Amino acid sequence: MSEQQITSSSPIQPAKRIDPLAVIVRFQSLIGLVLVFAGGIIFSPRRHGVILFIQPDNIANIVRAVSETGIIAIGMTFVIITAGIDLSVGAALGLASVVTATLMVSGGFGLITTVLAVLLMGTCFGLVQGAISSKFRLEAFIVTLAGLQAARGLALVVSGNQYINISYGDGPGLAPPIFAVLGGRLFGNVVPVATIVFLIFACIATLVLNTTRFGRYVYAVGGNERAARISGVPVSAIKIAVYAITGFASALAGIVHAGQFNFGSANDGTGYELTAIAAVVIGGTSLFGGSGSMVGTIAGTIMLGALANILQLNNITPAMQLLSTAAIIVLAAVLQSLVRRREGLGR
């Protein structure tokens, strides 16, 4: 089957008429990001006339803190565009951090071997979940919920119930010093390396989603699975692939985590799946599948980080931070729903 066939018969073509609300929704995450930054500047505490919020160090804090959930959210965007969900990502991060630490410290593996092994493990973990879900026609929600438990259990087994500290140096029991780079900063000691990993991964993912046949298939599966199948899209393979991608992303985030904090812990990454889903939804990707963008996810991720930062700089309680995040998620969802109704898509 040809590509032309797919694109022409694909049900996810944008509505032809221009709806101002749709424009807002299309760019909601960028608009939101600008608004949050403007608010950040206005409400930033000042010291001797210096606006603390936009200090390079502070911006670096924000983008560093969101790097791990950002990497996961990038993977999650693929899954959600296919109308799926992956709840196992946070636990998979914990598993990856533990395996990274174990391989390097007690396994005596080198940096490259460890990284490749952990990425392969994460990809396979996602692949298995996708395959189970697809083959037995099970809800991804259930399969990945089981995956969450499995990853935590495996992480506890691998780590022997211990936190695994990573120390650096040459010789057995020590990690290669270069691994500590992940916790550092580049370009005048300003840009966190973790953020660079996040941005590179985001760029590759954007290219894959926007310019490849695979990317078009992902949209097609989420837009209308039946139509996609009739058009010859290998639906099962695409579904399995997106879970492999989230598995890969979780493993990458786990490696970054271990490198940033010099340790592996089975309990780490708890709740990251929800932060990642929130970032994707705020970024304008619909949980019903078929639409969404990578740029939106990146903006959504940074928006959540900036919001937490400005509230914290002003010493506003964690309760308010949760409530304001909740308000933004609801706002994003309501906007999407309004647009869908106008376009006659219902729901």
Q: What is the DSSP string of 292-340?
A: --HHHHHHHHHHHHHHHHHHHHTT--HHHHHHHHHHHHHHHHHHHHHHH
Q: Residue 253 and residue 93: Cα distance in Å, rounded?
A: 6
4 near another protein, rule: CB under 8 A: no
Burial (CB count <10 Å: 0-12, 13-18, 19+), residue 228 = buried
Query: What type of residue sits at position 305?
Result: G
Closest separation between CB of residue 106 and another protein, Å? 16
Give whichever of 129 and 309 is closer to another protein, judged by the CB atom: 309
If the CB atoms of residues 60 and 128 are measured against another protein, the closer one turns out to be 60
Residue 325: CB partners within 8 Å, gap ≥ 6?
Answer: 278, 304, 307, 308
Number of residues that bind another protein (CB under 8 A): 32
Q: From CA 156, how far away is CA 303, in angstroms rounded?
A: 33
The only residue of 45, 173, 177, 232 in contact with another protein, by rule CB under 8 A: 45
Closer residue to another protein, CB minimum distance, 7 or 58: 58
Give me the numbers of helices (H) and strands (E) for the chain, helices first please: 15, 6
- Nearer to another protein among residue 4 and residue 315 (C-beta): 315
Pick from 309, 329, 336, 339 the residue near another protein by CB under 8 A. 309
Dihedrals φ, ψ of 47, to 5°? -125, 115
For residues 334 and 347, give the distance between their C-alpha atoms in angstroms, rounded to a whole number: 11
As a whole number of angstroms, the distance between CA 137 and CA 202 comes to 30
Span of 26-34, 47-55, 197-205, 329-337 interacting with another protein by CB under 8 A: 47-55
Give 64 or 216: the residue with its C-beta nearer to another protein: 64
8 A C-beta contact, residue 101 and residue 76: no
Task: Please report, as residue ranges, which positions from 141 to 180 form the binding site for another protein (by CB under 8 A).
Answer: 161-163, 165-166
| Least Å from the CB of residue 340 to another protein | 34
Which of the stretches 15-23, 74-82, 225-233, 305-313 binds another protein when contact is defined by CB under 8 A?
305-313
Q: Footprint of another protein on residues 247-276 (CB under 8 A)?
A: 257, 260-263, 265, 268, 270-271
**Burial of 94 from C-beta contacts in 10 A (0-12 / 13-18 / 19+):** buried
Q: Which is nearer to another protein, 61 or 236 (CB)?
A: 61
**Which residue in 5, 38, 57, 181 binds another protein (CB under 8 A)?**
57
Q: Which of 300, 311, 239, 246 is nearest to 273 (CA)?
A: 246
Q: Which is nearer to another protein, 62 or 202 (CB)?
A: 62
Give the nearest distance from C-beta 47 to another protein in angstroms: 6
Contact region for another protein (CB under 8 A) — 52-60, 128-136, 276-284, 337-345?
Answer: 52-60
Both structure tokens of 79: 């899954």
Return residues touching another protein (CB under 8 A). Answer: 45, 47, 52, 55, 57-58, 61-62, 64-65, 68, 161-163, 165-166, 183, 257, 260-263, 265, 268, 270-271, 308-309, 312-313, 315, 318
